[in-house]
A and B are shown apart, each in its own frame.
Chain A
Amino acid sequence: MTDRFNLPARLLHWTMATMILAMLLIGAAMVTSLADYHALVALHRPLGALILLLAVLRLANRWRHPPPPLPADLPAWQRIAAHGSHVALYGLMLALPLVGWGMLSAARYPIVLAGPVVLPPILPQSPMLAASLRHVHTGLAYALVAVFLAHLGAALMHALIRQDGVFASMAPWRSRR
């Protein structure tokens, strides 16, 4: 069967979709909350690190098991948009955690994941760099929200309107058709 993403790809897509959406909400909520800030940041760091790890596994799986082709009748601009948005989604799911890790390194925070588990710094201490990366982290997160909304719209377009098997190729269940 080559009309579907393989099982690891589908599993990774849906677990990571849940995790990444949770991360966007946690991130947006924590920077406006005084009461829950600490609990949310303490969750944000390990979840973000896990996303980075899974994203690498996912790209490795994609390289070994290329995705199914898009429907032949899909207009060229949609083909380009689909390709471009997937590149953007992969890029952002790698860049956001790396920037998060980098900004905490440059700010010289210990990057605590859980209990005594601490990530090593990946950048030298630099307050200016820390502040810039902090703004980049916000910018990339907003970009991810935008690309995700487009992605969601496109997925629903395929599922509800075009009914062309693109949604089924990623659906966690087997399609009845």
Chain B
Amino acid sequence: MTLLNDLTGAPPGMTGRSLLLRLSTLGAVVAGTAGGFAYAGGWLSPGLLTPARIVDRFEAVNGPHPGFRRNHAKGLCVAGRFAANGAGARLSKAALFAPGQVTPVLGRVALAGGQPYAADAETTVRSLALLFRQSDGEEWRTGMNNIPVFPVRTPEAFAAQLLAAKPDPATGKPDPARMAAFFADHPESARAAALIKARIVTGGFADSTFWSLNAFRFVAANGSVRPVRWAFVPERMATAETPARAGQADRNALFDTFAAQVRQNPQRWHLVVTLGRVEDPTADATQPWPPDREGVDVGTLSLTEVTPEAPHTCRDINFDPLVLPDGIAPSDDPLLSARSAAYAQSFTRRAGEAKAPSAVTGAPNPGAAL
């Protein structure tokens, strides 16, 4: 074994047996370490639902739309400010709730779904995403929908629902048998779907209420922590007539109407924070909280500007719901971490793709009488 001793540089006294044993130990440690990395990276669990696989599923269901968000693809940028009334300061130490504090806001109104060129429809879920920029460099980002509860409780159920609701190429509608099977497996989703269906659909973005749906925790300066959900409640009186229903030829009627309303007058919402009690579910966005929970109006959002998606606008932002200032913390809701992960994946993909212009221009619509 002296050849091996020479090759490895082992001292001449080391026996062949001992040398082989040492070489095998070395090999085992290196191979075991490499295996540890492979395990941590999920290479040994091909069936795991990962952020990349969820986003793959959006792409499979909606088809490729490079440059666009994989969900809530059709949208319009907004900007304005949030004026705190001080009532939130006892609930959260986040700077934006301090009395008299005015925080610049940019955001995005959008329709749920991964089709950037779909025509506006009144029952499509509407969303409002906001980014509050505090002067200390911290930010609060939140994405909300105009539905009272979320259709699923877990990311796994979300992925299953995406597949079940995929339109059948023959009918253009989801296969009812597959949806029924999904609801049978997920009774909480069946209950949520009934609540969502029973909601009052208002005329447009400006008179919609947008709910956080997920629970969060507000951390106050005195250290007290409480579970919360919140909603942006419009000042504008709700109207039932939607421009989309009124049979206008404009495929972007909801957006165009909203753009015109903002140009006329700032559109305002009150941020109402609902204080949960210990018994309220924080890890289940399909369940409403009891209606008697205290709601605290903590300030007013005024949206004063609309701009089509373009470089450096809301288009290039990830409204990750876990970008939170000190004073707002995640709850144990499993959707939150999953959203953060999936949005990052969607963002990285679309950020690296060439961008096509959005269907929504927000241009004044001469045809619509307002």
Contact = CB atoms under 8 A, between A and B. Distances in A.
Contacts of A75: 9
Contact of B41 (A29, A130, A163): A29
B227 interface: no
Interface in A88-133: 107-110, 112, 115-116, 118, 120, 125, 127-128, 130-132
B175 to A, nearest CB: 26
B336 A38 contact: yes
Given A39-B337, A128-B351, A34 B54 contact: yes
Contacts of B334: 34-35
A37 B344 CA distance: 10
Contact of A109 (B11, B51, B323): B323
Contacts of A125: 312, 316
Contacts of B317: 108
Interface string B35-47: 0110011100000
A107 B323 contact: no
A28 B337 CA distance: 16
A103 B292 CA distance: 45
A149 interface: yes
Given A24-B37, A118-B136, A131 B348 contact: yes
Interface residues of A, number: 46
Contacts of B54: 34
Looking at chain B's contact residues, is the secondary structure mostly helix, strand, loop, or mixed? helix
B341 A28 contact: no
B179 interface: no
Contacts of A160: 22, 25-26
B40 A38 contact: no
A120 B37 CA distance: 31
A131 B51 contact: no
Interface string B311-348: 01000111010110110001000101110111010011
A157 B10 CA distance: 9
Contacts of B325: 116
B276 interface: no
B34 interface: yes
Contacts of B322: 38
A156 B25 contact: yes
A162 B8 contact: yes
A131 B351 contact: yes
B51 A161 contact: no
A37 B316 contact: no
Contacts of B48: 32
Interface of A: 24-25, 28-39, 41, 73-75, 107-110, 112, 115-116, 118, 120, 125, 127-128, 130-132, 134-135, 145, 149, 152-153, 156-157, 160-164
12 contacts: A33-B50, A34-B49, A37-B337, A37-B338, A38-B322, A107-B318, A116-B326, A118-B138, A145-B37, A161-B22, A162-B11, A163-B10
Which 5 pairs, one residue from A and one from B, show the smallest C-beta to C-beta distance? A131-B352, A32-B42, A127-B351, A28-B41, A37-B341
